[in-house]
Amino acid sequence: MAERIFVQMASYRDPQLIPTLHSLVRQASRPDRLRVVVCWQHGLDEMIGMFFAHGFSHWQVVMRAGRTVHRLVLAEATVELIDVPAMESQGACWARNLIQQQYAGEDYTLQIDSHHRFVHGWDGMAIEMLESLRDESARPVLTAYLPAFEPRGEDPSCRGEHPTFLIFDRFIAAGALLVASRRIPGWEALEKPLRARFYSGHFAFADGHFATNVQHDPEYFFHGEEISIAVRAFTHGYDLYHPHRVLAWHEYTRDYRAKVWDDHTPENRARGLVKMVWFERDRLSQERNRALLGVDDVSAAGVDFGPYGLGQVRTLAEYETYAGVSFARRAATPEALRGDLPTAGTDHPETALARLRRSHDVAVELYLGDLDSLSGVSHIAFTVLAADGGTLHEELQPANGMTRILAEHNGWLCRRLIFQCGADDIPIRFIARFVNVDDVTVHELARDVPPYGTPISP
């Protein structure tokens, strides 16, 4: 019997779900070894019959933990749909946790989203990559932000051909560390996966026990998921790696499909359709994440993480040393900022404060509806100030389409200022100058920077 793979797929009102399942199964070298469990968070317009119309068969219905599960077969692969009306969803991490309760001892596990395409033989390639790491890690995890594909048109020539690695991006205002991806240089000559600092929620392949030992915290909502899993995996003794070959592609645009925050709104709560607004869940999630990782020196005292806390094999400080980040200071080392491969023996960031760069993500939200005409404004000059009045950051942004933007957002201008500065420098105020083509300031507005911990929309 081929090694079994437990595939975890959280899906929220996603028209790409069925095409993704077809690619996952039909591109596998051994579809019979796949057991795919989907948290099928669907709208009223999505019915089980659409699966039958696309080649799924052998329908069975069972009840598990009070939820309906549809059991189907596609090309010898087992596909199980946990039936969740979209308005009952509690977020991506809650959905992933629901799936993980269905783990049944499979040899390997793959966590993905519901908008992917796969290379032929991806399953054998992933197993071979993971097993090639056994001489250096007893618990390797393959993870990456996959190269992109565009579902409209499905032109394979438009898909990324380069494997990628994850680098530090920034700390958002609410405290979560976000990552970005870059192409792996010289990947053609590599024979094994590369060490990784960070974790991707949309692609992770590991031993099956990863689905049990490092389960998603259902109280997390969205941002904070990936960095918390990276730290928890590391402290549980797992080692993170990037695949050195392309195994699949991910669709990033998201502009054509509904998300949780489109449905779980104050309006729908008032109508009795949802129990909690998405940003309330996000606020609680961000508080939990800051406590878990000690962001801004927030204490975890009194917080019960249950099975979703840090492991005992390695410490949080050891992860910070390995990844080159400081959660207490929202900062990263030059090596992490450059995207250098992680190395053993590096000093903990807190011991090299002069080298740390603090990361900032300042949300600019200005109501301009009462201002005189802005039609002549060509640029907006932003200045961010520290407590002593010193300038931390200056940035010039074009004001293209200002009138249209304000009309679409009821007079509000929303921008982001993302920058790094000294380890002890904290922004407290920003100034926005609206400048015309003659470099004359037409309007000037100043606002306090929202305090750390303020959530920003996904």
Q: What is the pLDDT of residues 141-168, one digit of tens each?
A: 999 999 999 887 777 777 888 999 999 9
Distance from C-alpha of 166 to C-alpha of 148, rounded to nearest angstrom? 14
Average pLDDT along the chain:
92
Q: Is the pLDDT of residue 11 over 90?
A: yes
Q: What mean pLDDT is predicted for residues 135-144?
A: 97
Q: Quick count: other Cβ atoms within 10 Å of Cβ 261?
A: 17
Which of 292, 290, 265 has its CA nearest to residue 279?
265
142 DSSP 8-state letter: E
Cα-based distances in Å from 407 to 185, 371, 404, 412, 434 = 44, 13, 5, 8, 17
Its pTM surpasses 0.95? no
Q: Which CATH number fits domain 359-448: 1.10.8, 1.10.3470, 3.40.50, 2.60.40?
A: 2.60.40
Q: What percent of the chain has pLDDT over 70?
A: 98
Contact (CB, 8 A) for 170 and 418: yes
Q: Are strands 5-12 and 108-112 parallel, antiparallel or unpaired?
A: parallel
Q: Is the pLDDT of residue 8 over 80?
A: yes
Phi, psi of 435 (to 5 degrees): -115, 135
| Token pair 């598990």 in the structure block, residue | 64
Distance from C-alpha of 421 to C-alpha of 8, rounded to nearest angstrom? 39
Q: Is the pLDDT of residue 457 over 80?
A: no
Q: Where is average pLDDT lowest: 106-110, 238-242, 300-304?
A: 300-304
Torsion angle defined by CA atoms of residues 78, 82, 86 and 91, in that order, rounded to the nearest 10 degrees: -100
Query: What angle in degrees, to the nearest 10, is found between the helix axes of 316-323 and 225-235?
Result: 110
pLDDT tens-digit profile of 280-334?
A: 999 999 999 999 999 999 999 989 999 999 999 999 999 999 999 999 999 999 9
Distance from C-alpha of 417 to C-alpha of 184, rounded to nearest angstrom? 28
Q: What mean pLDDT is predicted for residues 407-414?
A: 83
pLDDT tens-digit profile of 367-387?
A: 888 777 777 888 999 999 999
Q: Return the beta strands (E) in 197-300 as ranges.
A: 203-207, 239-242, 248-250
pLDDT tens-digit profile of 347-361?
A: 777 777 778 999 999
Q: What percent of the chain has pLDDT over 90?
A: 76
Please tell me the predicted confidence (pLDDT) of residue 178. Answer: 96
Please tell me the predicted confidence (pLDDT) of residue 272. Answer: 92
Distance from C-alpha of 74 to C-alpha of 70, rounded to nearest angstrom? 13
Using DSSP's 3-state secondary structure scheme, residue 64 falls into strand
Contact (CB, 8 A) for 362 and 369: no
Q: Is the pLDDT of residue 255 over 80?
A: no
Q: For the structural domain made of 1-355, what CATH number should be given? A: 3.90.550.10
Nearest-5° Cα angle at 446, 440 to 449: 140
Domain boundaries, the chain: 1-355, 359-448
